[in-house]
Structure 1
Amino acid sequence: MLIQLAIMGLLAAMLPLAIVWASSDADKYRKLVWVTVFLTFDLIMFGAFTRLTDSGLGCPDWPGCYGHANPLQAHEQISAAEAAMPTGPVTVAKAWIEMIHRYLAMGVGVLIIAIMVIAWMRWLKSKRQEARFSPGLPTMLFVSVCLQGAFGAWTVTLKLQPAIVTTHLLLGMLLLAMLTWLGARQSAVPASSPDGRRLALSAAVGSALLAVQIALGGWVSTNYAALACLDFPLCHGKLVPEMDFANGFELWRHLGKTGDGDWLPFPALTAIHWVHRNFAFVVVAWLGWLGLRAMRIDATRRTGRRILIVAGLQFMTGMSTIFLKWPLALAVVHNGGAAALVLLLTMLNFEARSAAQAAVNRAATRLSAA
C-alpha cells in the first residue's frame, strides 16, 4: 500500500514538474517555486472543501483507505459502512474526496522535496555565493510539510478533534506563507524606500491579526458553529447574546463535547461564532489602513491595492455566508480569501523589508562615495 501511495504522490507531482520543465522561463527554479505556491493554495481550498463536506473521515484510517491505496480497492468496506449509515462520515463520494486531498498533499510534498534538493545543489555548487539559493528556508519547508502530514494523520486518528484540525489549517497557511516568501526571494528587489521599515512593522502586525482571525475561523468551522448566529449585525437579536466562553474555547476536547465529556451547549457555539465575527472588524479595519498606506509607496503599491480588494471581498463573503446560511461554494471561497490574504501580506512584508534594505544600501553607497 505504501508503495502505491508513493506512486500516487509522484504522479500528482508529474504534471506540475512537466509544466516547469517545458516552460520557456529560463529560471526553472523560480518557476517551480511559484507553481508550488499555486498548488499549495489549491490544496488549502480543496482541504476546505473536504472539511466542509464532512469528508475528513471519508476514509477512517491513515494513510490509506481501509488499508488500501485507493477507494476502488476498499469499495466493499466503504459500501458496507455507507449501507449501515447512509448519511454517516463514510460514503463512496466522501472517501474519494478525502483520498484526492491526500494525493494532492503528497504531490505538494514531492515538489517541496524537489525545491529543497535543487536549493542545496545550487548552494553548494555556487560555493554559497547565491543568496536566493540559501537552503535554510527550503529545508524548513520540508520539515513543515512533514509536520503538516503528521497533523493530517492525527486529524483522522483523533476523529476530527477541533484543536488538531484547526492546527492543521494554520500549518497549511504557514506553509503557503513560507513558499510565498521563497518565491518573492527569487524575484527582483523592488525600488528603495525609507518608509519601508515602518510599513514592514505595520505589515507584521497585520499578519499577526490575520493569523488570529484564521485560527478563530478554523475554530468556527471545526466546531460547526457557522450557523450559531443567523442575523447580522446582531446575534439572536442582541448585541451581546448569551455565550459560554469557557466551554467554547476549551482547546483540548472531542468534537461536539465539553472537556468533561458532556454535549457542547449551544451558547458555547454562539461564543465561538460571535468572537470570530466581531474580530473580523478589527482585522478588516487594519488591513484597509495598511493597504492604503502601502499604496503610497512605489515598491508596494500594487500589493497594497490587492490587499484592499481581497479584504473587502473577504468581508462581503463572510457576511453573505450568514445571510445565505453557509452555502458550500461560498464557504470554500471564504477559505480561499483567507489564503489569498496570507499570500498578499507575506508579499507585502517581503517588499517592505526589501525596500527598506535597498534604501539603507543606497544611503551607504552614497556615503562611501562621498
Structure 2
Amino acid sequence: MNLNVSLRLVNLSIGLALVVVLLGGWTRLNDAGLGCPDWPACYGHFVLPSAHQVEERILIDFPGHVVDLKKGWLEMVHRYAASLLGLLILLQALLAMRKRKLEGYPVVLSCGLLVLVIVQGLFGMWTVTLKLVPWVVTLHLLGGMTTLALLVRLRQRLSVLKDHGLQTDRHPDVGAVMLVAALFIQISLGGWTSTNYAGWACDHWLVCHQESSVEYDFATGMNPVVPLGPNYEGGLLPAEARAAIQISHRLGALMFVISLLMATWRLRENHSLMPWLGLVWVVTCGQIALGVLNVIFQLPLALATAHHAAAVMLLLAVMAVYGRAFVKRTRTEVIHGYLSPG
C-alpha cells in the first residue's frame, strides 16, 4: 500500500506544528500577543512596515497603542508559520478525499484537522480583536496542542495502515486514554494560569505564601465569563483569584502524576512500552522541576520558555504511548464492530 506521500506530508506538518506551538508560547511569554493591534495584517500591512509608517498608522487607526516592532515581528512570524501549517493541512485533507475509497484511510481525521485549523484561525483573530480575553487565549493554546496531537495520531494511523493494513480488532487501553485526558486537562489549567498572568501569584513552591495566610478565590479565578472590551494584557484578576488559579494548576499536576501511575500499572506487562513510559516519567519530573524553579525565581523568560517547551515534549511522549497502547478487542466487541454501521 503506497502511503509514502501522505506520510511525508504529515511528517512535514508535525515539524511545522511544533514550530507554531513553540512560537505561540514564545509570543505569549514575550507579551507580544498584541504586538500587532489588527488582524490578519499588522498595522495594515502583511509585511511589517517601517517605524515611521507604523507611527503614521497609529495616529489614525490605533490611538494610544504603544509601538514595539520587535513584538510585532514576533506576532507576524507566528502568523506566517500558522498560515503555512494551515496550507499543509488543507493539502492533507484534499489528499484524503482522493484516497477516500482506500479502506482504512483516516479521511475523517484528515478533514477534522482542516476544520480544527480553520477554528484556530478564528481564535487567533479573536485573541487580537478581543484583546487577550483569557478564555479565548486559553482555547487558542489548547487548539494548537490538539492540532499537534491529532497530527501525531494521523501519522500513527497511516504508519499502521502502511505496515499492517486495516486492523479492526484493537482499541486503545483505558489507562492510555485517561493519561491523554489528564494531560489535556493540565494543559488547559496551565494555559489558564498563563493567560491570567497567575504565574506570579505564589512565591513558594509548595504552599502559596509561606509567611502569611492566603485567601483563595476559586469562584472568581476559575470563572471563564468575563466582560469583553477591556485589555487583558497583564491580567485583571485580584491576587486571591490568581492564587486560586495557580493552586488549581498544581492540583492538576498531581492529578496527571496519579494518572501516569495508573497507566504505568495497567501497561506494565507490555515491555515494548516501558521505554516510552520511562520517557514520560523523565519529562514529567523535569516539568515539575521547571515549575518549582519558575515559582522560586518568579518566571524568568528562559525558565518559562523551557516550561512551555517541556509541556510540548510531554504531549509528544504521551501520544507515543497512546499510539502503542492498543489491546485486542474481545470477541463480542469485534462482532459488534462488524455489525455496526460504518
Q: Is the 8 A contact 1:43 1:105 kept in 2?
A: yes
Q: Is the 8 A contact 1:81 1:91 kept in 2?
A: no
Aligned to 1:331: 304
Aligned to 2:273: 300
- What count of residue pairs does the alignment treat as equivalent? 321
TM-score, reference length from structure 2: 0.84
CA distance in 1, matches of 2:43, 2:49: 11
Per the TM alignment, residue 179 of structure 1 is displaced from its structure 2 partner at its CA by: 0.7
SS in 1 for 2:173: helix
TM-score, reference length from structure 1: 0.78
Which of 160, 185, 197 is the equivalent residue of 2:157? 185
Per the TM alignment, residue 208 of structure 1 is displaced from its structure 2 partner at its CA by: 1.5
Per the TM alignment, residue 345 of structure 1 is displaced from its structure 2 partner at its CA by: 2.3
Q: Is the 8 A contact 1:66 1:74 kept in 2?
A: no
Which of 239, 243, 249 is the equivalent residue of 1:276? 249
Per the TM alignment, residue 285 of structure 1 is displaced from its structure 2 partner at its CA by: 3.2
Aligned to 1:170: 142
Identical counterparts, % of pairs:
36
Per the TM alignment, residue 75 of structure 1 is displaced from its structure 2 partner at its CA by: 5.2
CA distance in 2, matches of 1:175, 1:78: 36
Aligned to 1:39: 16
SS in 2 for 1:264: coil
Equivalent runs, 1:1-370 vs 2, <5 Å: 27-72=4-49, 76-77=53-54, 90-123=67-100, 128-131=101-104, 133-188=105-160, 200-237=173-210, 241-254=214-227, 264-291=237-264, 293-294=266-267, 296-353=269-326, 355-356=327-328
Going from structure 1 to structure 2, the CA distance change for 1:263 and 1:43 (only over 3 Å counts) comes to closer
Amino acid paired to 2:89? I
SS in 1 for 2:203: coil
Q: Which runs of at least 4 in structure 1 moved beyond 6 Å after TM superposition?
A: none
Give CA deviations for 1:255-276 in whole Å, capped at 9, x if unaligned.
998xxxx953211111111111
Give CA deviations for 1:32-90 in whole Å, capped at 9, x if unaligned.
212211221221111011011110000011000121112126752258869xx9x9764
Give CA deviations for 1:152-199 in whole Å, capped at 9, x if unaligned.
0000000000010001111111111111110111224799xxxx86x7
Going from structure 1 to structure 2, the CA distance change for 1:61 and 1:142 (only over 3 Å counts) comes to same
SS in 2 for 1:233: coil
214-223 or 277-286: bigger deviation: 277-286
Per the TM alignment, residue 360 of structure 1 is displaced from its structure 2 partner at its CA by: 6.7
Going from structure 1 to structure 2, the CA distance change for 1:341 and 1:135 (only over 3 Å counts) comes to same
Going from structure 1 to structure 2, the CA distance change for 1:252 and 1:202 (only over 3 Å counts) comes to same
CA distance in 2, matches of 1:237, 1:88: 39
Amino acid paired to 2:8? K
Going from structure 1 to structure 2, the CA distance change for 1:200 and 1:70 (only over 3 Å counts) comes to same
Q: Is the 8 A contact 1:33 1:183 kept in 2?
A: yes
CA distance in 2, matches of 1:26, 1:202: 30
CA distance in 1, matches of 2:132, 2:278: 37
Going from structure 1 to structure 2, the CA distance change for 1:306 and 1:292 (only over 3 Å counts) comes to farther
Amino acid paired to 2:283? V
What residue ranges of structure 1 are gaps of 5+ in the alignment?
A: 1-24, 365-370
